[in-house]
Structure 1
Amino acid sequence: MALDHLGFSVSDFTKSRAFYIAALKPIGFSVKKETADSLMLGAGAGEPELWIGAASLAGPPPGHFHFAFTAPDHASVDAFHAAALAAGGRDNGGPGLRPQYHANYYAAFVIDPDGHNIEAVCHAPGQSGDQE
């Protein structure tokens, strides 16, 4: 089952916008839609799958979520991790196999500017150059 989309509020839209554009580019995501007031955007590899919006006084404050994005290969997981750290993310588990989930679970985790746990994962069988 594929993730259709998810959305949430962020405390600093400008900072989070820059983070997500940079961090998700290696796995094929780009901005697909953005509101005229630049306070909400939809990003994805095809249709928007991720929506982020500026926190408003009327809405709930930003929460902490974990969500995973499917990466096409192990090199993309590695690139996601590097790009996310360069964009201001904090390491929460570098690229590598996670056999506790299953034998081919290759993932990397970062904490975004609002404390959300972001993951890129590839379920394909091992590839040369994997980090353990």
Structure 2
Amino acid sequence: MVSYITIGTDDLPTAMAFYDAALGALGHVRLWVHGTWAAYGPEGDDHGVILLCAPYNGEPARAGNGIMIGLHAESHAQVDAFYAAAMANGGTCEGPAGPRTDYGVGHYLAYVRDPVGNKLAAFYQPQA
């Protein structure tokens, strides 16, 4: 359904270090870097990618209030690895990895912000 998500950054090397680690923990890779752009997603697939770049309007990058990117995880271990990688690479905690029983049975999430302040969630829910 989603073709791409663009996340603004004023510091591509710092953003790439964060996303290499955090998205790598979920099995995604850096697909390419072209000038001031970088793309992440599943190996060999350029659909449903996350793009990093400087804002087109030339204004400083800043996180959007109320916007969050939810990323699928295959297990509790992947959510834990995502959270640890994010924290080790300049991320900040918005909710540590763990069960979220108020969301329903089996929900396991971690909430982080990247170095710019964009909010991300890694989400695992076993099939019913």
Q: Within 2, Cα distance between the matches of 1:102 and 1:61?
A: 38
How far residue 3 of structure 1 moved from its aligned partner, in angstroms, is 4.7
Q: How does 1:59-74 map to 2 (within 5 A)?
A: 59-64=58-63, 65-74=67-76
Change (3 A) 1:88 1:97: same
1:118 matched to which residue of 2?
Answer: 120
TM-score (norm 2): 0.84
Equivalent position amino acid for 1:82 in 2: A
Change (3 A) 1:8 1:60: farther
Segments of structure 1 that go 5 or more residues without pairing to the other structure are 126-132
- Asked if 1:13 is matched to 2:15, the reply is no
How far residue 110 of structure 1 moved from its aligned partner, in angstroms, is 1.0
How far residue 60 of structure 1 moved from its aligned partner, in angstroms, is 4.7
Deviations 1:74-113 (A, max 9, x none): 1000000001101111111111111222212100011110
- Count residues with an aligned counterpart: 122
Q: Within 1, Cα distance between the matches of 2:98 and 2:30?
A: 28
TM-score (norm 1): 0.82
2:99 matched to which residue of 1?
Answer: 97
2:88 matched to which residue of 1?
Answer: 86
The secondary structure found in structure 1 opposite 2:116 is coil
User: What is the aligned-residue identity percentage?
Assistant: 30
Q: Within 1, Cα distance between the matches of 2:55 and 2:3?
A: 22
1:128 matched to which residue of 2?
Answer: none
1:26 matched to which residue of 2?
Answer: 25
Change (3 A) 1:102 1:60: farther
Deviations 1:1-22 (A, max 9, x none): x654211211211111111011
Equivalent position amino acid for 1:116 in 2: N
Return 39-48 or 103-112, whichever deviates more: 39-48
- Tell me which of 40, 44, 47 is aligned to 1:43: 40
1:130 matched to which residue of 2?
Answer: none
Segments of structure 2 that go 5 or more residues without pairing to the other structure are none
Equivalent position amino acid for 2:73 in 1: A
The secondary structure found in structure 2 opposite 1:93 is strand
Q: Within 1, Cα distance between the matches of 2:80 and 2:99?
A: 12
